[in-house]
Amino acid sequence: MSRRTLRSALAALAAALLPAAAHACAVCSVLGSERSRKAFFDTTIFLSLLPLALIGFGAWWLARRFGGRLAEEFREREDAAAEAAPRR
């Protein structure tokens, strides 16, 4: 094995084992507490639904703000088409 390959393998092994030694995982140290587990679960649900709520609020705001303008534009087009259509 070349030195470069050996160094790469040792670096990969150290990177794989380092989080376990340093307790870098925020959840691993509190897995025993039911209260902490529930807090992580509730936070996960909140952070999953937050983007959907923001998109929904943005769509509602846009519809409310510009909905009247678009409806008026369509009414004008319909009126113009009705006037241009031949009468029977």
Q: What is the pLDDT of residue 68?
A: 72
Q: What is the pLDDT of residue 22?
A: 56
Q: What is the pLDDT of residue 16?
A: 76
Q: What is the pLDDT of residue 45?
A: 95
Q: What is the pLDDT of residue 78?
A: 74
Which residues neighbour 29 within 8 Å (Cβ) at sequence distance 6 or greater? 23
Q: Report the distance separating Cα 55 and Cα 52, nearest Å.
A: 5
Q: Report the distance separating Cα 25 and Cα 32, nearest Å.
A: 14
Ranges of the chain whose pLDDT falls below 50: none
Domain ranges of the chain: 1-26, 32-88
